[in-house]
Structure 1
Amino acid sequence: MIAEEMFAAFMERDPLFGSLLGVPGWDDRIEDLSVDGEQALRARLADVLRRAETSGEDPVTLAVVRHQAEMIINQIDARLVEHVVAESLAAPVNRLLLRASETDMSQRAGLVPRFVDQVAVRVRDSGRRPLSRHLRSSAARLDGFLKSPVQEWEHDSSAPIRASIAAYRETLLSLKGRDDEQAGLCWLPDGEENYRKLVRDYTTTSRTPAELHQLGLDLIARLREEYAEVGSRLWGTSDVPEIFRRLRTELLWDNEEEMVAHAVEAIARAEAVAPRWFSRLPRIGCEVRLVDEAERGTAPIAYYLEAALDGSRPGVYWLNPLGATERSRTQSETTAFHEGVPGHHFQTTLAAETDLPDIRKYASIDAYLEGWGLYSERLADEMGLFSSDEQRFGMLSADAMRAARLVVDTGLHALGWPRQQAIDYLRENTVMPEPEIQAEIDRYIEVPGQALAYMVGRLEIQRLRAEAQAELGDRFDVKAFHDLVLENGPMPLSTLGELVASWSSLR
């Protein structure tokens, strides 16, 4: 079946992810990032696309297969491996170091030097230079690894692993990178065309970078009205700059333990209320864990890791406590609802517990995945989960960040903004602390287009729900709607729209 072939190619692209999921057969593999290796995978995916045209599999599965094949082809064609070196989950070597401690490396630790050497050659021989600051920050991250004690996952391959990483570090330091004035993809060869393709892949829509840029500007303006409303109620002021100042400087965490306890409490509260909004509930729970100390400098502020297929590992909401006492506690609950319950944990676990083809369960379609995560933040407000207006400010802050992403991602990669202009926009229109602003902008630079998926997906899920409610009236069942969206796994937004329309017409 073509769905099985696509899933095998998907796993070949990221064998460590397969092992994290518990998919058998990938524990002795690491992806091949040589030019020949990527081109062989590209040819395999092109063949999948050709045969999908005459396949008799169901339309949703075929839509997912086409999207995944086209997305990986476009990422290969953009040659991202040659200039993405610093971001923790996108830069190949950093991603491996982050995941290695979470998966079985016993059969592939010996393959790590070859993998690192492949990346070094691609970066060294390319004309697509990373930013100078990213070369330096990645080298610093690798230096931290080299100075750390030998880790368990290295097994008996520690010496060659560390030698290859040391050589890669020297390669990074030897290169002359781009300056911050040329931060975006549009400054690289074929960058504008590559960005358009990545935008289409990440949003699964035909919206242009210019349209998305304007959408972000419009949303930011509307969010200021909501800030003023909540500010008047909580603090007696509707002055948005004053509200921003207070959110940046007050309501900070006292310590890491307080941050973790609050997240655990929020997820437990969401799990208790969820049966009123969902008919199907995950059989596997969601745990809160702190990112390992060695990874805190490059890991995201928060992220979710899917549960293992065999139930040996629960879903994990990872929290990065770096700079906790300088961060606002107002975003604690909204982030827990996005990453955990009813967000990514419900989404990924419920799909995994179905009989869908594996590519349908685990497809990387961010407009759906992150759209649901952001939808969950607003849904949490409907569910009565926010404990205070203080925490509701966090929901608005998260919304503003995702709306601003539409502006700065397109600004950087389509309009040619320098890095500082993107930083200034986030400073003016969000309440993100300075370290987070810097980290977010560097993430957008190295993962072009991905930041657009959140708000585009959220708005589409909300639109589809509103249309279904208008059509069905009293017959609309929100639990059935949520079950429909989640039990069919990730899919392009247009396919989700067709599914919801068919469901509405049959009820």
Structure 2
Amino acid sequence: MKQTLLAAALSLALSAQFAPVDALAAPVAAKAAAKADARFQAIYKAEWQWRVKQRLAWDEDEPRDVRDALPKVDARTQAARLAMWEGVLRQLDGIRAADLSRAEQINHAVYRAQIAAFVAAQRFREYEQPVNADSAFWSDIAYIARRPLKNAEEYRAYLAQLADLPRYFGEELDNMRAGLARGFTPPQVTLAGRDAPLLNIVNAKAPEDTVWYTPFKEMPATMSMDEQARLRAQGIALIGSAVKPAYAQALQFFRDEYVPKARTTLAAERLPDGKAYYQSKIVEYTTTDLTAQQIHQIGLSEMAKIRADMQQTMVKAGFKGDLPAFLAFLRSDPQFYAKTPEELLMRAAWISKKFDGKADQYFGYLPRRRFAIVPVPPDQAPYYTSARGGPGIYLVNTYNLPARALYSLPALTLHESAPGHAFQMPVALEQQGVPPFRRAYISAYGEGWALYCERLGSEMGMYETPYETFGMLSYQAWRASRLVVDTGIHALGWTREQAQAYLHDNTALSDHEIETEVDRYISWPGQALSYYLGEMAIVESRRKAEAALGDRFDIRAFHDTVLQLGAVPLPVLKARIDTFIADGGKSPYEDVKRPASK
């Protein structure tokens, strides 16, 4: 995958958005656009229908969990997917983005980048590594056990999925064997202890003690007691006869074959065709064509700015020592840490409600979907990140409380809940008339927005003490340091210890978080780059709009415009803000009446 593929597609699409159209030529142009739109729509609609049948996506009208089989992931199926997506790219090459209507130009830019990423992943056979330091297929698939089932039909489909689990696990293990044979594995050092979720299932005393029994604990009252008992008995039998043996086989393979033979090098560039592979991940996760060296230098430059802000905040806190001493103080003083999981969860809830009281001053459109605050499941918590958010949920990691600083909790909550992930994603999902592929997550946009929300907390008055402000700055430094560490590891020969030391010296993260985070970056190349580069794009666009619009700039209209667009490549976001400026800073919801900003 050439690194210029994304840039070329986006440039072609976006340069056409602002091209002047002669009044006499407008009807002809509109007719040509309608024809081009129809061709493009036929391509993406056909591909989407195929994608749904592949169990790689789902229709809005089709509940995600009622399917009676798990996805196919074997090598033959993967080859067919590559052929399909390569064919789609060839079809897209037959359409000039400049011929499309404005709305479809945006769709084209998003879709082309999405399909290009799919093709790159298939060509590099990423499916042969369905495990890393952050997650694994055996943990990811367990989401189907945690979603509520509504009726007997959905329970029967769930039972069919349980029966299909050995086939699915077997295909994933075959993929791992193929990756192992060619040296395409996560680094061995990042896999220690990652078999814990497998052990939890294998060592469970009874099927009822596993996550897979969850749907049977509380069943809908609309189902008769006899039917509930019958389905529950079938579930217990399948967990014992299909699920547990599949986990036992995976555990044996992971321990006896995979980990001992996994690669001992760290860099993505040491993988087969590694330089091209790492650049493909940079393109995917940043939606830019920056090189590893360029990103590394951006990280160093931004870290210098953040350290200066950290020094000033340390002085405001009244601390008399130097920065290393202050970081040691923050990591060790008991006042900064919750004593119980409940305390951590309640503090997170309080911060979330503080935002609710300020939301209408910064956002015109508020999503209807609310979110729950839930602890990370114990089988995932030891190696899980500090928190994650999304539609309907804000997961907070309550494992190892001395590693969960309260002064960082406001920034963390703004990032993962509202106005971050648990706010942004529902807004995108509530948009009407958007093709289903536009609902996919683009890391540079989504993580960039969430990190921007941490900074926004300063304007919103969410940080009440210098320590909380420092927690925000530490999180900014954490994400800026990822630009240095990720590229350092995967392109510049950094060691694991060197990466850990860089985070230790430049952030207030606990040693536990530093270890889990560095292992995550090592085994998930490129993903860590999306956060800070995404935030920089949003901040740059906001400054441009503020300068151009002056007194006409409305922060709510700006935020609504960014969020209404949904997850898009960064060049698309920047082009949309150019349109926002050209339109005089109007909100995309201008027909919705609301009180003036305070």
Q: TM-score normalised to the size of structure 1?
A: 0.92
**C-alpha deviation, 1:239, in angstroms:** 2.0
Structure 2: gaps spanning 5 or more residues:
1-40, 150-157, 214-234, 585-598
Question: Which residue of structure 2 aligns with residue 303 of structure 1?
Answer: 388
Query: Deviation at 1:455?
Result: 0.1
1:258 matches 2:343: yes
Deviation at 1:445, TM superposition (A): 1.8
Higher Cα Rg, which structure:
2
Aligned-residue Cα RMSD (Å) equals: 2.3
AA paired with 1:64? V
Does residue 286 of structure 1 match 2:352? no
Distance 1:409 1:464 in 2: 25
Q: How many matched pairs?
A: 495
* Corresponding residue for residue 97 of structure 1: 142
Query: Which residue number corresponds to residue 564 of structure 2?
Result: 487
One-letter amino acid of the counterpart of residue 49, structure 1: L
The answer on whether the counterparts of 2:107 and 2:438 sit within 8 Å (CA) in structure 1 is no
Could you say if the C-alpha distance between residues 43 and 197 of structure 1 is closer, same or farther in structure 2, counting changes exceeding 3 Å?
A: same
* Cα gap change, 1:505 to 1:342, in 2 (>3 Å): same
The match for 2:255 among 173, 179, 195 is: 173
Match among 146, 166, 170 for residue 117 of structure 1: 170
Higher RCO (C-alpha 8 Å, min separation 6): 1
Moved more, 432-441 or 46-55: 46-55
TM-aligned CA distance change 1:355 to 1:183, over 3 Å: same
Segment of structure 1 superposing worse, 409-418 or 328-337: 409-418
Q: Deviations over 1:364-393 (max 9, x none)?
A: 210000000000111111111222222111
In structure 2, the partner of 1:34 is 74
How far is 1:51 from its partner? Answer: 2.6
Q: CA deviation at 1:67?
A: 1.4
The residue that corresponds to 1:162 in the other structure is 244
Bigger shift: residues 447-456 or 381-390: 381-390
CA 1:54–1:83 in 2, change beyond 3 Å: closer, same or farther?
closer
Q: Deviations over 1:91-137 (max 9, x none)?
A: 22221135532365344222221111111111123322333334442
Structure 1 stretches lacking a partner, 5+ long: 307-314
**2:452 paired residue number:** 375
- CA 1:485–1:75 in structure 2 vs 1: closer, same or farther (change >3 Å)? same
User: Once the 2 structures are TM-superposed, how far is the Cα of residue 493 of structure 1 from its aligned partner?
Assistant: 0.5
User: Does the residue aligned with 1:297 lie in a helix, a strand or coil?
Assistant: helix
- Residue 3 to residue 18, structure 1, CA distance change in 2 (3 Å): same
Q: Give the letter for the 2:254 counterpart.
A: L
Moved more, 331-340 or 145-154: 145-154
Counterpart secondary structure, 1:413: helix
SS at match of 1:377: helix
SS of the residue corresponding to residue 304 of structure 1 reads strand
CA contact (8 A) 2:348 2:413 kept: yes
Separation (CA, whole Å) in 1 of partners of 2:384 and 2:212: 19
Aligned to 2:33: none
Tell me if 1:429 matches 2:496. no
* Equivalent-residue separation in structure 2 for 1:33 and 1:194 (angstroms): 21
| CA distance in structure 2 between the partners assigned to 1:106 and 1:397 by the alignment | 46
Q: TM-score, normalised by structure 2?
A: 0.78
Asked if the contact 2:445/2:568 (under 8 Å) is kept, the reply is yes
Q: Which amino acid aligns with 1:197?
A: S
Q: Distance in 1 between matches of 2:134 and 2:143?
A: 7
Shift of the 145–133 alpha-carbon distance from structure 1 to 2, 3 Å rule, reads: farther
Judge conservation of contact 2:403–2:513 (CA < 8 Å) in 1.
no
Partner of 1:130: 186
Residue in 2 aligned with 1:309? none
DSSP-derived class of the 2:383 partner: coil
Q: What is the rounded CA distance, in whole Å, between the counterparts of 2:191 and 2:54 in structure 1?
A: 24
| 1:153 aligned partner | 212
Give the structure 1 partner of residue 526 of structure 2.
449
In structure 1, the residue matched to 2:320 is 237
What is the CA–CA distance in structure 1 between the aligned matches of 2:320 and 2:475, rounded to whole Å?
20
3-state SS in 1 of match to 2:566:
coil
Deviation for aligned residue 1:26: 6.3
Task: Please tell me whether the aligned partners of residues 87 and 443 of structure 1 are also in contact (alpha carbons under 8 angstroms).
Answer: yes
Compared CA separation, residues 178 and 411, structure 1 to 2 (3 A): farther
Contact 1:348 1:361 (8 Å CA) reproduced: no
1:272–1:295 distance in 2 versus 1, CA, 3 Å? same
Cα distance change on mapping 1:188 and 1:317 into 2, 3 Å = same
Q: Return the alpha-carbon distance in structure 1 between the equivalents of residues 55 and 458 of structure 2.
A: 36
Q: Which amino acid aligns with 1:177?
A: K
What's the counterpart of residue 581 of structure 2?
504
Q: Deviations over 1:225-279 (max 9, x none)?
A: 1111111011243721122111111212222111111110111111120101111
Distance 1:262 1:361, change over 3 A: farther
